[in-house]
Homo-oligomer: A and B are copies of this chain.
Amino acid sequence: MTRLALVDALRSGDIRALARAIRIVEDHGASAVALLQAAFPHAGRATVIGVTGPPGAGKSSLIDRLVSSYRSDDRRVGVVAIDPSSAFSGGAILGDRVRMQRHGTDAGVFIRSMATRGHLGGLARATGDAIDLVDAAGFDPIVVETVGVGQDEVEVVRTADVVSVVLVPGMGDEIQVLKAGVLEIADLFVINKADHAGADRLEADLRSMLDLAEPGPLPEIVRTVAVRDEGTDGLRAAIEAFLATTEAGRRAARRRERAEARLLAVLGEGLLDRVVARALPDGAFAAVVDRIAERTIDPYTAAERVLARVEVR
């Protein structure tokens, strides 16, 4: 199938074509670029819902409930999971790339987990690409699940149209995790496993922390018990209220940030591949690495020598 035919097929709702397209994009060969170029004009319509939080917060169960909620309104829902501890992504690592859970036989749900390995920035690039393809295939909303502790993972989720941060009572570290750049990106908080002891304490801690933070409207705090499907409606209402009340300017700014992050990721990866191949062909790269390991040259001097040979016409 040509790239164009593949894009046509995935746009017409062919799930296998979509899965195949994402695989091509993850492998990142030359045909991946042509594929993304063809799909790009058809993407950008879906609402992207970011769900992040520490491992064990129950993000997958919550997403499962959210998917059912959207399905009951006949919305086709995409899920892109890049949390290595996720029930979805756990499968990715073991080679079971598409783990469908109870939505497995539902053609209106597309779940894809991304491996978290590869080169610096590669995860952000591949995830942006996958979201575009799922978007071009007409799924809306698209839920992106990341673990809110890794730098790359936070970068990926922060430019979603709405960012939900999921916490659970009694983990001890939840507030510390918040300090690490997650507080600023939250549009709303979810206290999951809210039937556990400590939910009130967690909410109180969260409120006092939010009060100390920047001025402006405080993010809503929603309580859920995902395993019993409690609070799902409240969460969905909070997501939709946030999206409805966000001014167009703020939403455009978020999408602009997403565009910038993608451009930098694509450009950074492309530059490194191209320049290293040309400036340090064959054994030259390995020889420089050896010299750095032996401490006879430092990485900055080595990089400067390469950079001095780079010209921009």
Contact status B179-A93, CB under 8 Å: yes
Answer whether residue A107 sits at the interface, using C-beta atoms and an 8 A cutoff.
Answer: no
Report how far A177 CA is from B94 CA in the complex, Å. 12
Contact status A293-B85, CB under 8 Å: no
Contact (A275, B267) CB under 8 Å given A180-B93, A259-B289, A289-B259: yes
Report how far A255 CA is from B295 CA in the complex, Å. 10
Answer whether residue A230 sits at the interface, using C-beta atoms and an 8 A cutoff.
Answer: no
Report how far A150 CA is from B263 CA in the complex, Å. 22
Contacts of A83 in B (CB 8 A): 149
A-B pairs, 3 with minimum CB distance: A150-B150, A84-B180, A40-B298
Could you list some 11 contacts between A and B, CB below 8 A?
A36-B300, A40-B295, A41-B295, A55-B171, A55-B177, A56-B172, A85-B180, A147-B150, A259-B293, A267-B276, A268-B272
**A binding-site residues for B, Cβ under 8 Å:** 33, 36-37, 40-41, 43-44, 54-56, 83-86, 89-90, 93-94, 116-121, 123-124, 128, 147, 149-155, 171-173, 176-177, 179-181, 252, 255-256, 258-260, 262-268, 270-272, 274-276, 278-279, 288-290, 292-293, 295, 298-304, 306-307, 309-313
